[in-house]
C-alpha cells in the first residue's frame, strides 16, 4: 500500500490525474511522472475491466497510488477491482447516504461490510498476505464518494457522516449540469455548493477532492481545504501534445503553388 489514506489524514494535499485510455503504457508513464495518485476510470474511460490488471501492474513500481472509478456502487463492481489490487475506489453519482453505505459495505469484509472473501487474489499477494490485508483494509483502503447530483447535495451531511466514506469528491461537470449552469465553475451556485461540501466534510472529519480543468485553480481549491486534487488525463496529455506539435510544425510547412 502507498498510504494514500494515511497521507490524507495527516493533512497532506495530494496531486493526481485521470487515466482513461485503458493503456498500461500511459499508466506507467503517468505514474513515473511524479503524481501522488491516479484514477483509472472504468466509468467513462476507453479501458475495460480486463485492462485494469495490466494498468495496476504497470503502476506497482511507481510512486502513484492506484484508485479505480467503478461504474456503480454495486458490490460486484467494487470487490472485483479491490481483489486486483486497487488502493481505493471512487463511486460516481451517489445520491444518498443509503447508496454511500452500500458502496462502503462492498469495500470491506464482514463484520464492517459485505465484501466476499477470496484469498488467492492479487491484492493479498495471492494468499501470502491475506491476514495482514484483511486486518488493514479499514485503515488503508480509500473510499471516495462523488458528489455530483442535486440529491447528493440534499443528503450531504448524512453522506459525509457515513463510516468508511473517506473523501467527498466534487464532480464539476455533472454537478454544474445538474444545477443548470453547465461548466460554469465560477458561478455563485457552484461555489456555494463547494462551500457546503467542504463544510460537511470538515464537520465529519473527512477529506474533499475535486477534478480541476485549469492548473491555475489549484491554489484556490487547496486554500479551501481540498486535499485530493486531480487535473488532466493521459488522453489529454496525448491529445494536447499531438495538437501542439502539429501546430508548431505547420508553421514551417511550405505552401504549394
* The C-alpha cell that represents 43 in the structure block: 466509468
Query: Taking the alpha carbons of 195, 198, 202, 203 in that order, is the dihedral positive or negative?
Result: positive
* The C-alpha cell that represents 174 in the structure block: 455533472
Q: How many CA atoms lie within 13 A of 113 on its CB side?
A: 28
* The C-alpha cell that represents 65 in the structure block: 497510488
Q: What are the DSSP E strand ranges found in the chain?
A: 14-19, 37-41, 65-69, 88-91, 142-147, 167-170, 207-212, 228-233
* Distance from C-alpha of 154 to C-alpha of 186, rounded to nearest angstrom: 21
Question: 44 catalytic, yes or no?
Answer: yes
* Distance from C-alpha of 254 to C-alpha of 19, rounded to nearest angstrom: 37
Catalytic residue, from 44, 61, 79, 108: name it: 44
Q: CA angle at residue 122 from 19 to 67, to 5 degrees? A: 25
* Distance from C-alpha of 14 to C-alpha of 209, rounded to nearest angstrom: 9
Q: Which residues touch 14 (CB under 8 Å, ≥6 apart)?
A: 4, 7, 8, 36, 37, 227, 228, 229
Catalytic residues: 44
Amino acid at each position: 500500500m502507498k498510504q494514500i489514506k494515511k497521507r490524507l489524514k495527516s493533512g497532506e494535499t495530494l496531486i493526481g490525474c485521470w487515466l482513461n485510455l485503458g493503456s498500461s503504457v500511459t499508466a506507467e508513464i503517468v505514474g513515473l511522472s511524479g503524481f501522488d495518485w491516479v484514477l483509472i476510470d472504468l466509468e467513462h474511460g476507453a479501458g475495460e475491466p480486463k485492462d485494469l490488471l495490466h494498468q495496476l501492474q504497470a503502476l506497482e513500481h511507481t510512486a502513484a497510488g492506484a484508485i479505480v472509478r467503478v461504474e456503480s456502487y454495486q458490490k460486484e463492481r467494487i470487490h472485483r477491482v479491490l481483489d486486483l489490487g486497487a488502493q481505493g475506489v471512487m463511486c460516481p453519482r451517489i445520491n444518498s447516504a443509503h447508496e454511500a453505505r452500500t458502496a462502503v459495505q462492498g469495500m470491506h469484509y464482514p463484520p464492517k461490510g459485505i465484501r466476499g472473501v477470496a484469498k488467492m487474489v492479487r491484492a493479498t499477494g495471492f494468499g501470502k498476505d491475506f491476514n495482514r490485508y484483511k486486518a488493514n483494509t479499514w485503515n488503508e483502503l480509500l473510499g471516495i464518494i462523488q458528489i455530483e447530483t442535486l440529491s447528493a447535495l440534499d443528503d450531504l451531511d448524512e453522506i459525509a457522516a457515513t463510516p468508511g466514506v473517506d473523501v467527498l469528491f466534487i464532480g464539476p461537470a455533472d454537478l454544474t449540469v445538474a444545477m443548470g449552469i453547465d461548466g460554469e465553475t465560477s458561478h455563485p451556485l457552484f461555489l456555494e455548493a463547494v462551500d457546503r461540501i467542504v463544510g460537511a466534510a470538515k464537520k465529519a472529519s473527512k477529506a474533499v477532492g475535486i477534478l480541476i480543468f485549469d492548473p491555475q485553480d489549484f491554489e484556490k481549491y487547496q486554500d479551501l481545504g481540498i486535499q485530493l486534487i486531480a487535473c488532466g488525463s493521459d488522453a489529454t496529455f496525448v491529445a494536447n501534445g499531438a495538437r501542439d506539435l502539429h501546430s508548431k510544425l505547420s508553421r514551417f510547412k511550405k505552401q504549394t503553388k
